[in-house]
Amino acid sequence: MTGENLLGIPPTLLNADGVGEALAASATAPSAAELEALARQHPTSSLAWALLSDSAFDAGQILPSYAYARVGYHRGLDALRKGGWRGQGPVPWSHEPNRGVLRSLYALRRAAEAIGEQDEVVRLTEFLTGADPQAAPAIEAETATTTERL
């Protein structure tokens, strides 16, 4: 796959939800408690839920990770629909506010794989790749960089 938009559907570009900005203003990586507070302040943010999922997954808490990612996924679908998305078309990783939705898809796929939910893994892989083929490699590169710093 080349990543080219062969359907001619315009990309969905979400509005910022304040979470990315709040994280950028912090000098340190947020703790699990800070991520929970962020999700309470921004409950519609798929990024906040994706980050909670990442934190839980890193702590070996697979089912909570799955649950957080599932919330982020649904919040992301809500945001995409509100942004004009009709079930298909590009959701570019390069547009920063889209990253919460894409990270939620990735986190849900990862947690589904960890619990052996293979049909969900296939469906989410197709969804993520259809949204932006560069998203998963970008998230994996970010994760590798974060892990190396620890």
Percent residues over pLDDT 90 in the chain:
87
φ, ψ for residue 91 (rounded to 5)?
Answer: -130, 85
pLDDT digits (tens, 9 = 90+) for 94-125: 999 999 999 999 999 999 999 999 999 999 99
CB 105, CB 122: distance < 8 Å:
no
pLDDT digits (tens, 9 = 90+) for 67-87: 999 999 999 999 999 999 999
Looking at residues 53-70, what average pLDDT do you find?
Answer: 98
**What does pTM read for this prediction?**
0.91
Name which of 104, 106, 82 is nearest 14 in CA terms: 82
Q: What is the DSSP code (8-state) at residue 76?
A: H
Name which of 39, 42, 62 is nearest 51 in CA terms: 39
The total of other beta-carbon atoms located within 10 Å of residue 53's CB is 29
Q: What is the CA radius of gyration of the chain?
A: 15
Handedness of CA 38, 93, 53, 73 (dihedral sign): positive
Looking at residues 36-51, what average pLDDT do you find?
Answer: 97
- Binned at pLDDT 50, 70 and 90, residue 3 comes out as low
Domain 31-149 has CATH 1.25.40: yes
Looking at residues 122-138, what average pLDDT do you find?
Answer: 97
The total of other beta-carbon atoms located within 10 Å of residue 82's CB is 12
pLDDT at residue 80, as a whole number: 98
